[in-house]
Amino acid sequence: MNKNILLCVSGGIAVYKAVALVSKLSQAGANVKVIMTASAQQFVTPLSFQVMSKNDVFYDTFDEKDSHVIAHIDLADWADLVLVAPATANVIGKLANGIADDMLTTTLLATTAPVWLAPAMNVHMYDHPAVKRNIAQLAEDGYQFIEPSEGFLACGYVGKGRLEEPEKITALVQTFFEGEPS
Stretch among 3-7, 108-112, 145-149 having the lowest mean pLDDT: 145-149
Residue 123 pLDDT greater than 60, yes or no: yes
* Per-residue pLDDT at 37: 98
Residues serving a catalytic function are: 155
CA 90, 84, 104, 80 dihedral sign is negative
Report pLDDT digits (tens) over 42-61: 999 999 999 999 999 999 99
Domain count, the chain: 1
Q: State percent of the chain over pLDDT 70.
A: 98
What is the bridge-based pairing of β-strands 149-152 and 158-162?
antiparallel
* Cβ density class 154-180: b for 16+ within 10 Å, e for less: eeeeebbbbbbebeebbebbbebbeee
> What is the model's pLDDT at position 95?
98
- Residues in the chain, total: 182
CATH number reported for the structural domain that contains residue 84 in this entry: 3.40.50.1950
Per-residue pLDDT, 135: 98
Of 26, 116, 109, 38, nearest to 75 (Cα)?
109
Residue 167 banded pLDDT, cuts 50, 70, 90: very high
Q: How confident is the model at residue 181, as a pLDDT? A: 63
What number is the average pLDDT over the span 163-169? Answer: 96
| Cα distance between residue 122 and residue 113, in whole Å | 29
Q: Which residues form the domain of 18? A: 4-178
What percent of the chain shows pLDDT beyond 90?
A: 82
Per-residue pLDDT tens over the stretch 128-150: 999 999 999 999 999 999 999 88
pTM: 0.95
